[in-house]
Amino acid sequence: MLYNLHTHSSSNNPNVFEIVNRYPYEAIDVPYFSTGIHPWHIDESKIEEHLSIIEERLQQPNCLALGECGLDKRIEIPLDVQQTVFEKQLLLAKKYQKPVILHLVAAFQELIEIKNRVQPGVPMMVHGFSKNAQVAKQLLDSGFYLSFGKYLLRNPELSTVLAEVPHDRFFLETDTIEESIAEVYEKAALARNTTIEDIRNTISTNFKTVFKNG
């Protein structure tokens, strides 16, 4: 079994366990999903409505995580609005004890500050990690997990970052790329100078640690 932390489209592959992202306005049409308000899609007239849908969904056993949600400094939605929506979602994750899949762009300091203040007490994964070893270490030291996918395939330098991440602190994903999760596993095995089987066992263990029914 290959585990895919985060994708927007189901592969319908029986050999892949995947968490499919479903926004509050999307139907649940997959076995396992995550749900959250992405900072790109904050609609200030519908925040409470969407939070209500998320709260309802978090109580479903096949909802494995809150997200993706987070902060993005490269969009026009004001950061204070993003932070308010993000914090409200973290409180729901805390209430229902669901892990969090994070979208983070240029706001790592804010993320760490909010985590320390809200103290959700649940695993939090920075998806689509694309930064350098220094940022990786900062996030790992603050208790976050890192998920690699698109940028691992696109940026050779990221392989050296993944090589240094502790085995119990990373995940793999496809997000919106055309490549399969199997191709991401192949790249991760090369990056860590090990076998695909070893990567499979590592990710399987991490999934079962973070997602109790994964």
Output the known binding site for a divalent metal cation.
Answer: 68, 103, 127, 175
Backbone angles phi, psi at 18, to 5 degrees: -130, 145
Annotated binding site: 68, 103, 127, 175
Distance CA 142, CA 177 (A): 28
Cα–Cα–Cα angle for 124, 194, 153, nearest 5°?
60
- Among 26, 103, 42, which Cα is nearest to 68's? 103
Contacts of 50 (CB under 8 A, 6+ apart): 24, 25, 37, 43
